[in-house]
């Protein structure tokens, strides 16, 4: 492999960056601003089309609050750092933004009822 060719490691690192960014419910634009680069550069890093420097990797660890070992593939996200997927957070925020407390409670009750029914079906 020549020096300018990207490796499978670059692609795996990019996937880890995307996963960590999404866990933090952060857009490519927001991450790019925090890193001092464009969202296009973040996109290139995430797709493995552009190599991530050691300096940028250190900044990613700080911004995304992840250990270096996570990005290097030597560890997974510790259970204590698991966050809800971005879609779940958006859904919860949408429910909480509803103007009526009664509607909020009814939706939460409905979702809990579905969850209980689903778990009961799975266990039997």
- Write out pLDDT tens, residues 75-106: 666 555 555 666 777 788 788 888 888 998 99
| pLDDT (mean) for 29-54 | 95
Note whether 70 and 16 are within 8 A (CB).
yes
Question: Quick one: pLDDT at residue 1?
Answer: 45
Q: Which of 70, 54, 53 is nearest to 17 (CA)?
A: 70
pLDDT at 122 over 90: no
State the pTM of this model: 0.59
Mean pLDDT in residue range 49-70: 91
Residue 112 pLDDT grade (very low, low, confident, very high; cuts 50, 70, 90): confident
């Amino acid at each position: 492999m020549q020096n300018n060719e990207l490796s499978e490691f670059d692609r795996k690192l990019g996937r880890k960056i995307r996963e960590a960014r999404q866990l933090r419910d952060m857009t490519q634009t927001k991450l790019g601003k925090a890193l001092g680069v464009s969202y296009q550069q973040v996109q290139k890093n995430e797709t493995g089309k552009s190599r991530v420097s050691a300096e940028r990797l250190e900044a990613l660890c700080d911004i995304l609050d992840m250990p270096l070992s996570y990005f290097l593939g030597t560890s997974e996200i510790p259970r204590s750092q698991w966050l809800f997927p971005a879609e779940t957070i958006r859904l919860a925020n949408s429910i909480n933004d509803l103007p009526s407390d009664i509607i909020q409670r009814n939706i939460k009750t409905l979702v809990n009822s579905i969850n209980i029914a689903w778990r009961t079906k799975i266990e039997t």
